[in-house]
Amino acid sequence: EVQLVQSGAEVKKPGESLKISCKGSGYRFTNYWIGWVRQMPGEALEWMGIIYPDDSEIRYSPSFRGQVIISADKSISTAYLQWNSVKASDTAIYYCASPIGVPGTFFWGQGTLVTVSS
């Protein structure tokens, strides 16, 4: 069974660093792009960027380039989304998502709520 399992909710203060994760199982992790999606409170889904775990090729959406770091560790089938210094405006739910198997068949993680507040 294909699964994407994300790390738990985080509460951070502005300026702190943060790294959240998404672990894939039930499929060959290295063979499929895996990406991150932001959903701010009451707002639409936004595609942040995507990584190909086999060679770590990364494509960022322009709005997120320089704001976050996407990475992956293929040895443990895990993708990451990282901030060096979070801001209040980073408060959102973050989902990982990947088109696995049949083209265009997207699987989603359960989401990670990130709250940034002083």
Partner 1 sequence: DILMTQSPSALSASVGDRVTITCRASHGISDSLAWFQQKPGKVPQRLIYMASNLHTGVPSRFSGSGTGTEFALTISSLQPEDFATYYCLQHNTFPWTFGQGTTVEI
d(Cα 82, Cα 86) in Å, to the nearest integer?
Answer: 9
Site string for partner 1, 17-56 (x = CB under 8 A): ------------------x-x------xxxx-xx------
Binder among 67, 69, 91, 99 for partner 1 (CB under 8 A) = 99
The minimum distance between CB 103 and partner 1, in angstroms, equals: 6
Which residue do the tokens 């380039």 mark? 65
Closest listed residue to residue 93, CA positions, set 24, 25, 44:
44
Which of these segments, 23-31, 69-77, 81-89, 96-104, binds partner 1 (CB under 8 A)? 96-104
Helix, strand, coil percent content, the chain, rounded in steps of 5: 10, 55, 40
> Which parts of this chain interact with partner 1 (CB under 8 A)?
35, 37, 44-47, 49-50, 59-62, 95, 99, 102-106, 108-111
